[in-house]
Amino acid sequence: MNSKNFTLATIISLLALLGGRCASAQTPEWSKASSDAIAASQRGEYALAQILYKQAIEIQQETLGADSPDVAVSLNNLAVFYQDQSMYPQAEQAYRQSLAILEKDPSQTASIAHELINLAALYHDAGQDDKAAPLYKRSLGILEKLGKDEASSEAVALIGLANSYHSRNQDETAAPLYVKALTIWKEQGNQDTLEAADALFQLGEIFRASSKNADAETMYAGALKIWVNNGRAESTEAVTTEAILGNIYRAEGKYAEGEPLLEHSLKVTEQKLGPNDLQVATSLNNLALLYYCESKYDAAEPLYKRALEIREKNLGADDSSVRQTMRYYASLLRQEGHKEEARKLEVQATGLGLDKF
C-alpha cells in the first residue's frame, strides 16, 4: 500500500504559490475559465476541462506576462489535472514550465521547493523513483533553510523521499525519514492525520520485513487507531492493517487481542468483495488458524472448509494454496478425532491417489 503524498503536496503547493498574489490577477475572464475548468473536470468532461485550463493560462500570460508567478499557479493547476488523468508526460511538462517561471524570481524560494515536491511526486506516481529522489532532496535543502514556517512542507518532502526509497527496497534509508516526518507532525499537533497513519503503516511494513515484530506491532496499532478515529475503520488500509496486526498478535500468543481484529477484517472483506473472493479465503484462513491456536476447533472447522471451497473453486485442486489449506484442515480434523476424513485430505494434498497409500 503505497501512499500518494501527491495530494497533500499539491494542496500545500497551491496555497503557497497563490500567496495572496492571485487576487490581483483574477480578471473576470480568468476566474470564469478556471472555475469552468474545475467544474468540467468534476463532471468528467476532461477534454473540455483541458481546453479551459489552457484558456486560463493564456489569459494570464496576456494580462500579466509569460513569466508571472501567477501563470505558474495556473500551470500547476493544469499539471495536477493531467496527473489526475495519469497523463504523466503532459503533467511533467506543465510542472517544469511552472518551475522554470518560479526559478526566475528570487522571491519565490518556498514556491520553488513546493513545485519540486509536486514534480517529484509525479515521478513517484509514475514509478520513476530514481528521478523523484533528487528532487525531494533539493526541496528539503531549501525548506530546511526556511525554518519552522515551512515545517509542514518539509514533512511532506521527507515522506515523499522515504516512499521513493521504500519503493526501491532501501528501507534502512527510508525508516529514519518516516520517523523525522512523524516527529515534525507531532510537534505541530498533527500526529493523528491520515498522512501520519500512512507513514506509521509504512514503518510497520519495514519493521515486519526485518522481523522486528514488536516495533511493527506498535506502528500498525498506531496507524489503525488513527484510521478508526477518523471514521475509516472499514477502509482498505484499516482492514489490511487489522489482518496484519491480528496475525502478529496470533504469532505472539496474544489471542484475545488478535481475535476481534481478524473477525472484523473477515466481516468487512466479505461485505466488500462477496462470499467467494480469494481474499475472503485468506481472511477465513487467518481467523481459522487463530481459533486453532486457541483450541477452538468447532469454530475453526467451518472456516477452513469455506476457505478450501473458495480456493478450489477459483484456483483448482492442484494449486499450492489449495493443498496447503487441505493440510491445515486435515490437521484440525485429526485434533477433533476425524482421522479417516483427515487422511483423505492429506492424500489429496499430496496430489496422489488413495491407491498409492
Domain ranges, ordered by start, for the chain: 1-135
pLDDT digits (tens, 9 = 90+) for 298-321: 999 999 999 999 999 999 988 988
* Better-scored residue on pLDDT, 290 or 28: 290
Task: Round to whole Å and give the CA distance between 341 and 329.
Answer: 10
Q: What is the mean pLDDT of the chain?
A: 90
> Three cell numbers at 42?
468534476
* Better-scored residue on pLDDT, 22 or 284: 284
pLDDT digits (tens, 9 = 90+) for 74-108: 999 999 999 999 999 999 999 999 999 999 998 99
pLDDT value at 37 more than 90:
yes
Q: What is the pLDDT of residue 22?
A: 45
Range 319-327 average pLDDT: 90
> Three cell numbers at 318?
492442484
* Residue 218: other Cβ atoms inside 10 A: 15
Range 310-334 average pLDDT: 91
Backbone phi and psi for residue 336, each to the nearest 5 degrees, phi listed first: -85, -5
pLDDT digits (tens, 9 = 90+) for 208-217: 999 999 999 9
Backbone phi and psi for residue 190, each to the nearest 5 degrees, phi listed first: -110, 30
Range 32-40 average pLDDT: 92
CATH number at 1-135: 1.25.40.10
Q: What is the pLDDT of residue 346?
A: 86
Residue 213: which residues within 8 A CB-CB, separation 6 or more? 207, 248, 251, 252
pTM for this one?
A: 0.84
Q: What is the pLDDT of residue 18?
A: 46
Task: Round to whole Å and give the CA distance between 299 and 270.
Answer: 18
**Helices (runs of H) and strands (runs of E) counted in the chain:** 18, 0
Residue 26: pLDDT band (50, 70, 90) is: low
Task: Round to whole Å and give the CA distance between 171 and 202.
Answer: 10
Contact 131, 123 (CB under 8 A): yes
Q: What is the pLDDT of residue 62?
A: 92
Q: What is the pLDDT of residue 350?
A: 84
**The one-letter amino acid at 346:** E
Range 160-184 average pLDDT: 96
Residue 11: pLDDT band (50, 70, 90) is: very low
Residue 14: pLDDT band (50, 70, 90) is: very low
